[in-house]
Structure 1
Amino acid sequence: MAERILFDNDTGIDDALALVYLLSRPEVELLAVSSTPGNVSAGQVARNNLALLQLCGRPEVDVAIGATAPLEIPLVTTPETHGPQGIGYAELPPPQRQVAAADAVGLWVEAARQYPGELTALITAPLTNFALALRKEPRLPQLLKQVVIMGGCYFYQGNTTPTAEWNTHVDPHAAAEVFAAFEGADEDRLPIVCALETTERIELHPDHVGRLAALAGCPEPELVLPGDPAGRRSTAALPLIRTLSDALRFYFEFHRRYDQGYVAHVHDVFAAAVAGGTAEYRTRAATVHVGTRPGPLVGTTVADFRGLWGRKPNARIVTWNDPPAVSDEVLGSIAGLARRLGTG
């Protein structure tokens, strides 16, 4: 049986890679992609999603927009991290389709009701749209088969503030609502949380891009090199390899600028592999609290693994994963898609 997935993202370089990976998996039935403001505005997220679906030969997949701002605080985007359009140096042609008439929140609720117990919700963005969907349909924790969230950090340094991860920091009020909605749910229905301590282990390097190209049969494997002039475009023959190379090059440069090396932490790819059922991982149930008060701890996520608060768990936090296996799986699968698509 196919894995039916509804994907909510804020595309984002690693969101883009996650979307392409899902499209490369024959056992994944991607029902729709909903667009949440985060790395870029909701409108730009939707344009990126439409263009990527078009590039991957899947223009029939609906793309919807829901919220255009976080629940209670102003939107802050990340052009320094993902580029002004959210996909680094990549240049995609304007999509030929428009966003769906239905908004993302209605799409979430309709899909969950149509496929009770069958739908996996994958969220690699701030939790704004999901929080609004829970307000509209409080039974989502029972209707959904599984929820996979990329967000938060626990006993681990944040990537936005010393204690906060980006997605949760953008809309902490939405995150707090989502975790509260799952408190007391059966353990197998609790969200699987892919937090920074495991997603930062999924690193790509320039040699991974070369390997991706080689696996796809692309004649130019050396596509991304440190020290090349900023903004150099890939000349790879395959459009998908060209796009991903140009996007990842920007991401490599960002991480090097912040003294993390010429690497890319592709957080959302791991979450996509979890949702698609292709990643090995272990989890531990916990009660998650999200800081929402203004100040230095806003967006901070705290996990009670020992029941000290006397509250029921509301999440399953990933405590172990296998980065080399994830990289092998993702690169091989995307290379196969690039090869099938050809030169376009």
Structure 2
Amino acid sequence: MHDASRPVPHEPSREPAAILLDCDTGIDDALALIYLCSQPHVELVAVTSTPGNVAAEQVARNNLALLELCGRADTPVAIGARSPLRVPLVTTPETHGPQGIGYAELPAARRTHHARDAVELWVEAARARPGELTALLTAPLTNFALALRAEPRLPELLRRTVIMGGSYYYQGNTTPTAEWNTHVDPHAAAEVFAAFAGQPEERLPIVCALETTERIELHPRHVAALAEAAGCAEPELVLPDQPEGLRSRASNPLVRHMSDMLRFYFEFHRRYDQGYAAHIHDYFAASVAADSAWYETRAATVHVETQAPRLLGTTVADYRGLWGEPATARIVSGNRPDEAFAELVLSVGALARRLG
């Protein structure tokens, strides 16, 4: 049986990290990608695009534009699946805007996505660099499930796997019981967790679920702090009493685009009675993958519901081994939001200042 009473703490090491990122960009995915670009010890091996917040082609356009904006235009961007494994794609223009990046209008990238399929890139990279790569998954798990079908040894080939998804004994954000990424493609999530059954605990995916990612709640004061750290000429004020849709005039381009994204996200959260704030789930997962965050985990066997219509995408964690099955995940049970935001402001602010 798993020992439910003993969370395992992890201290940040900031050792060099080579990351394969799969995302559905998405405002919080965008912040995660910008953060990774700000980390000198992070190598972005590839950024692959999964349908979710927007269609896969738009995800790829967002990724290309953000990488160019952040000075990482040499990072390959690829597209894999165009839809979930078995259910129709549902996107979220009300949450992230029609292009997935709120009010931001990013300059179009000067290149296009890679001609090769995302799954091929993942498998090829993992085989070429066994034990070196960290998989960071901030989207529905469609592409990763397909990669596991193509190369079942991925759990052994990867150094670490970090997933943003699910909610365990915690209210969902899409249905009463289901988190967005898992609800979009529950069948893929079920396949991914099953693929890790029997792995030693240190190889199990680290799962950043809603109960800890919703603690990473960004407020207008954090936007102001980012702008100050970036050296903006004027304070950047994104305030609840301002007109909806107001566009930033920040002197720093990266701050301006982030501010326009976050204003949209603040307005969405307020519309759904969550206050003028934003849960930036994917940034926290990125800091875990970059090994720049403190967190603690508990091993569990994860079940993803794929049959009952009202419970589709619901995730259940057996922390005590009552099912008699091996653990398939290490679920984050604790984090430190104040430290997370200090890290975000310092690192992304410095990147924005460097880029001018």
Q: For the superposition of Structure 1 and Structure 2, which TM-score range results when normalised by the shorter chain?
A: over 0.9
Normalised TM-score (structure 2): 0.95
Say whether residues 1:3 and 2:31 are aligned partners.
no
> 1:9·1:34 contact (CA, 8 Å) conserved in 2?
yes
Instruction: Give how far 1:294 is off.
Output: 4.4
| Cα deviation 1:19-77 (Å, max 9, x = unaligned) | 00000000000111000000000000000000000111111111000000000000000
Instruction: Give how far 1:227 is off.
Output: 2.2
Partner residue, 1:124: 138
Partner residue, 1:207: 221
One-letter identity of the residue aligned with 1:309? W
Aligned partner of residue 99 in structure 1, secondary structure: coil
> Counterparts of 1:65 and 1:222 in 2: how far apart (Å)?
35
Partner residue, 2:345: 331
Partner residue, 2:55: 41
> 1:4·1:31 contact (CA, 8 Å) conserved in 2?
yes
Say whether residues 1:151 and 2:165 are aligned partners.
yes
> 2:197·2:326 contact (CA, 8 Å) conserved in 1?
yes
Aligned partner of residue 84 in structure 2, secondary structure: coil
Q: How does 1:1-344 map to 2 (within 5 A)?
A: 2-342=16-356
For structure 2, which runs of at least 5 residues remain unmatched after alignment?
A: 1-14
Instruction: Give how far 1:229 is off.
Output: 1.8
> Counterparts of 2:137 and 2:145 in 1: how far apart (Å)?
11
> Counterparts of 1:262 and 1:29 in 2: how far apart (Å)?
34
Aligned partner of residue 122 in structure 1, secondary structure: strand
Aligned Cα root-mean-square deviation (Å): 0.7
Instruction: Give how far 1:230 is off.
Output: 1.9
One-letter identity of the residue aligned with 1:66? G
> Counterparts of 1:158 and 1:214 in 2: how far apart (Å)?
35
One-letter identity of the residue aligned with 1:78? T
Moved over 3 A (4+): none
Normalised TM-score (structure 1): 0.99
> Counterparts of 1:223 and 1:189 in 2: how far apart (Å)?
43
Instruction: Give how far 1:330 is off.
Output: 1.1
| Cα deviation 1:291-342 (Å, max 9, x = unaligned) | 0014100000000000010000000000000000011001110000000000
| Cα deviation 1:230-274 (Å, max 9, x = unaligned) | 221100011000000000000000000000000000000000000
> 2:301·2:327 contact (CA, 8 Å) conserved in 1?
yes
Aligned partner of residue 309 in structure 2, secondary structure: coil
Aligned partner of residue 231 in structure 2, secondary structure: coil
One-letter identity of the residue aligned with 1:88? G
> Counterparts of 2:79 and 2:158 in 1: how far apart (Å)?
20
> Counterparts of 2:238 and 2:105 in 1: how far apart (Å)?
16
Aligned partner of residue 241 in structure 1, secondary structure: helix
> Counterparts of 1:103 and 1:150 in 2: how far apart (Å)?
23
> Counterparts of 1:96 and 1:198 in 2: how far apart (Å)?
37
| 157-166 or 91-100, which deviates more | 91-100
Structure number with higher relative contact order (C-alpha < 8 Å, ≥ 6 residues apart):
2
Instruction: Give how far 1:225 is off.
Output: 1.5
Aligned partner of residue 33 in structure 1, secondary structure: strand
Aligned partner of residue 279 in structure 1, secondary structure: coil
> 1:223·1:236 contact (CA, 8 Å) conserved in 2?
no
For structure 1, which runs of at least 5 residues remain unmatched after alignment?
A: none
Instruction: Give how far 1:114 is off.
Output: 1.1
> 1:209·1:221 contact (CA, 8 Å) conserved in 2?
no
> 1:146·1:191 contact (CA, 8 Å) conserved in 2?
yes
